[in-house]
Chain A
């Protein structure tokens, strides 16, 4: 069964303390992996799409990377405004339109 697992469930960091969030998947031959940011009471906001192992995308303090089994969202020198839940989703070859979603990592950055 295709699955997406995100870890950790929650992560507390001090402002400026860099770290990484993990998204592992069991899908073979995925056709895309997506990262989103979700603030409380809001819809997910699209961040990145990755298509192939070795690919990297960057936006401000965030960098997403992809291997054949997992993706990392690296956050460098985070600020309190980076606090949010980060969601990962994959587009499997067996699907026409459906994505498989992870449960998310709640990131808290303390000033």
Chain B
């Protein structure tokens, strides 16, 4: 079955530590996205990538970094500069070449501070 796999499901970060969230897709989609979800708020875009080796900042990129070395992989690093990292992180992908902008999501990683 094609889909998006996020790991780990739960992650704990210590003060001053960088952590990396994994996102892998086998949908052959060109575009990939990282969102942050907080209670009572809409999804907020952190970074997105339209193609391999290219990515753009979203609305809340400060304290985060990404890479896109392979089409199927788009890892997100939450750095120590992100002072409020506790949230539910969602990875998504889409296939804009078909004209369909609908995004398809993984099951998320919940990040907490120790």
Residues of chain A whose beta carbon lies under 8 Å from any beta carbon of chain B: 4, 9, 31-32, 34, 36, 41-46, 49, 87, 89, 91, 96-104
Instruction: Give which listed residue, A9, A44, A100, contacts B90 with CB less than 8 A.
Output: A44
Q: Decide if B97 is an interface residue (CB 8 Å cutoff).
A: no
Report the interface size class on chain B. 20 to 34
Among B92, B101, B106, B108, the one with the most A-chain Cβ atoms within 10 Å of its Cβ is B101
Minimum distance in angstroms from B11 CB to a CB of chain A? 14
Q: In the complex, A2→B41 CA distance in Å?
A: 16
Whether B101 lies near A99 (C-beta < 8 A) is yes
Q: Decide if B104 is an interface residue (CB 8 Å cutoff).
A: yes
CB neighbours (8 Å) of B8 from chain A are none
The 4 closest A-B pairs by CB, nearest first: A43-B105, A101-B42, A101-B43, A43-B107
Whether B100 lies near A99 (C-beta < 8 A) is no
Q: In the complex, A34→B100 CA distance in Å?
A: 11
CB neighbours (8 Å) of A97 from chain B are 31, 33, 48, 50, 94, 96, 101
CB neighbours (8 Å) of B16 from chain A are none
Q: Decide if B61 is an interface residue (CB 8 Å cutoff).
A: no
